[in-house]
Amino acid sequence: MLPAMHRRQFVQHAAALAALPAFGGLAMTGPWPETATQAARVVNGERLNGWLAQFDAIGRTASGINRVAYSAADLAGRAFTKELFAQSGLTMRLDTAGNMLARLPGTDSALKPILIGSHVDSVTDGGNYDGPVGSFGAIEVARSLLEQKVRLRHPLEVVVWQNEEGGTIGSKIAVGLLTPADLDKVARSGKTVREGIGIIGGDVSRLAESVRKKDDLAGYLELHIEQGGQLEKNHRQIGVVDGIVGLRWFEITITGFANHAGATPMDQRQDAMLAAATFTVAVNEAIRGEAGRQVATVGRLNVLPNTTNVIPGQVTLTVDLRDLSQATIDRFTARFEQLGRDIGKATSTTFAFTQMVNSTPALSDTRLTQVVESSAGALGLTHQRMPSGAGHDAQEVAHIAPMAMIFVPSVGGISHSPREFSRAADITNGANVLLNAVIAADKVLP
């Protein structure tokens, strides 16, 4: 719910909105104000949460939400989103990458646009809030600006990125970071990225037309669920993201010697599983042994020959390493490689490291984080600074433009799960902060 001090203002806005004609044929009477006012404004939270409730049925299966990129459910989700653009009086266009975009003109045609948005695809067996909260929140913000006749100096663009969960594909294309090899990667739907772009209406032969250059945008704001439990634990309503952690993934192949489990003495074994287990514990101890917010996870193991009565001859495992400091990521990379050498020597095995993913930390823009904080304060919402431990499209956009993110609580800190849930009041709070942050950013950005 909105704080008591703003309920009267909400009622006033609700009455004003009720007086407007249906938005599909919104009649703009009289000139728009040249600039936004300083008073805190609110979105139509009931409408926004209604959209999310309807969207929950798309891709819903017995095991969770399955709107994986380029699947039939993803196409249905995109069609639903396209209809929301239309209902909101926004003319949607599709870029050659398959990203969905709409634009509100500003009063100063010389200014670069402020971009807001997120994604609507999901992980396998995921939830309904990761992505759609920010995408639908951005559409609702644009619609609220139109309905309340607030016109910004900057143009405002709303974006729904394609295939965020498969590696921030749409936003990578937009900033020129997608490689030809990336196009041949297979999404969770079984389609390659190359095939998927065509399926959703893009044109892989013209991807260069969707690339934005540095300074093409004034700034980027993204609303998202926290995907963790810090806001709930600290009884805070809004997270002001001060940066998105860098991410480095390794695939490590440990080679020993497969031999008979009963006939091989313990002191003559080259046990790849023993080396993998020792390494897993060592990674955990190394990360926990140093003060900081760094995290590392051994998440997948493949064992050969994976038989009860054979000593494992080879294990392939993955390590996911994250921190907001690039120096910390580099330092632990070297530490893990040294651990591999030491454990290999002790177990008569060899460790081979292959780097799979390497994304650098993205720090939020100071002006935009201050704008988010001040907007939360103006709405009477409790807030805190925090890093994002998960990757987002904002991390890619940060290569070319100032960015900031707004988090709302995830109940129980659960995400990428059928149990993922954010309360309607928290989602409304986040959209209200986004609305006011956009208005404030319009004043502070060049």
Question: How many domains is the chain built from?
Answer: 2
Q: Indicate which CATH number applies to the domain containing 304.
A: 3.30.70.360
Do 404 and 432 lie in one domain? The reply is yes
Instruction: pLDDT band for 39, please (50, 70, 90 cuts).
Output: confident
Is residue 294's pLDDT more than 90?
yes
Q: What is the mean pLDDT of residues 386-392?
A: 93
The pLDDT assigned to 23 comes to: 30
Q: What is the mean pLDDT of residues 14-21?
A: 34
- Looking at 359, 391, 426, which one is the last position of a domain? 359
Q: What is the mean pLDDT of residues 115-137?
A: 98
Is residue 358's pLDDT more than 90?
no
Do 79 and 132 lie in one domain? The reply is yes
Do 333 and 254 lie in one domain? The reply is yes
* pLDDT tens figures, 407-421: 999 999 999 999 999
Residue 1 located in a structural domain: no
Distance between CA 321 and CA 302 in Å, rounded? 19
Percent of the chain with pLDDT over 90: 88
Of residues 38, 141, 8, the one with CA closest to residue 430: 141
Do 192 and 320 lie in one domain? The reply is no
Is residue 352's pLDDT more than 90?
yes
| Torsion region of 227: left, alpha or beta (phi above 0 gives left; psi -120 to 50 gives alpha) | left
Do 190 and 236 lie in one domain? The reply is yes
3-state class of 225 per DSSP? strand
The pLDDT assigned to 8 comes to: 40
**Contact call for residues 101 and 143 (beta carbons, < 8 A):** no
The pLDDT assigned to 38 comes to: 57
Do 350 and 412 lie in one domain? The reply is no
Q: What is the mean pLDDT of residues 282-295?
A: 97
Do 207 and 322 lie in one domain? The reply is no
- Looking at 297, 327, 359, which one is the last position of a domain? 359
Percent of the chain with pLDDT over 70: 91
User: What pTM value is reported for the model?
Assistant: 0.84
Instruction: pLDDT band for 194, please (50, 70, 90 cuts).
Output: very high
Is residue 54's pLDDT more than 80?
yes
Q: What is the mean pLDDT of residues 253-277?
A: 98
Distance between CA 350 and CA 252 in Å, rounded? 10
Q: What is the mean pLDDT of residues 384-400?
A: 95
Residue 2 located in a structural domain: no
Instruction: pLDDT band for 15, please (50, 70, 90 cuts).
Output: very low
- Looking at 326, 359, 392, which one is the last position of a domain? 359
The residue segments making up the domain with residue 396 are: 11-245+361-444
Do 81 and 197 lie in one domain? The reply is yes
Q: Please count the residues of the chain.
A: 446
* pLDDT tens figures, 130-166: 999 999 999 999 999 999 999 999 999 999 999 999 9
Is residue 30's pLDDT more than 50?
no
Instruction: Provide the mean pLDDT of the chain.
Output: 92
Q: What is the mean pLDDT of residues 316-324?
A: 97
Instruction: Please compute, for residue 113, the number of CA atoms within 13 A of its CA located in the half-sphere on the CB side.
Output: 15
Residue 5 located in a structural domain: no
